Structure 1
């Protein structure tokens, strides 16, 4: 799917998405138009979905993180999913198989704030919450090769 040059371009962008096209071209040994064309094709193929910024939640005052497993009560699946989507402190959520329907990641400032968030779900779902102590593996991509 990806040739060696595409992988090299992606590795450089993963390290520094703000790199200039000129500098990227120099690093991979191609002209700027050639690299620009490769980037356009990677975006068209949805290999590159966006160029984004990585913000540390702690810098915004969100010093606590929790993982919450959510099991909607009978008939409440769609309502719970909507509540999850409408809760900005839930920064990631996966719909999963097994006993729980959702596994979410929450960023919050205080335990009281966590209680408030969970209380919104309490009438419509059972929750099981774990506070994150550390993250030995931050979000990362699978190997490019």
Structure 2
């Protein structure tokens, strides 16, 4: 949830966001050509979108298997205490946890985990189970691994 108030985005802002989601390495000059704006005006728009918290950073996408992570799983954790420090400490100590979402319902957290093997997943889930009841779902495949966000 953004901490800054929502700004009105126009079609040029939408074009900037769309182009950068397709290629985050695009230079300002390339982006300016793609959206038919001058480089200086494009840079000003980028700065405004960043300052407003619309653009929060730039990153690369990597193939987990290429890095040795052959198992992806989602772990639901029923965490029964309101003291979240032990949870945050454990998450900070396990780099294999790539996402954690505090959710409503019977479970408190849904956690995305990458593991090198099923034995490695067992080690990770064993550590998570020290905090509460867990349910683990191993991913067979990801037909929609990630989508770009379009402005609402």
> What is the TM-score with the length of structure 2 in the denominator?
0.88
Of the three residues 17, 29, 33, the one matched with 2:24 is 17
Q: CA deviation at 1:32?
A: 0.6
Residue equivalent to 1:123:
130
Q: CA deviation at 1:47?
A: 0.5
In the alignment, is residue 111 of structure 1 matched against residue 127 of structure 2? Answer: no
Residue equivalent to 1:34:
41
* Contact 2:18/2:150 (8 A) holds in 1: no
In the alignment, is residue 69 of structure 1 matched against residue 72 of structure 2? Answer: no
Residue equivalent to 1:137:
144
Of the three residues 79, 85, 100, the one matched with 2:92 is 85
Aligned residues: 145
In the alignment, is residue 53 of structure 1 matched against residue 53 of structure 2? Answer: no
Q: Which blocks of at least 5 consecutive residues in structure 2 are unaligned?
A: 1-7
Q: Which blocks of at least 5 consecutive residues in structure 1 are unaligned?
A: none
* Divergent runs of 4+, >3 A: 73-78
- CA deviation vs aligned residue, 1:91-116 (integer Å, no higher than 9, x gap): 00101111111000000111110111
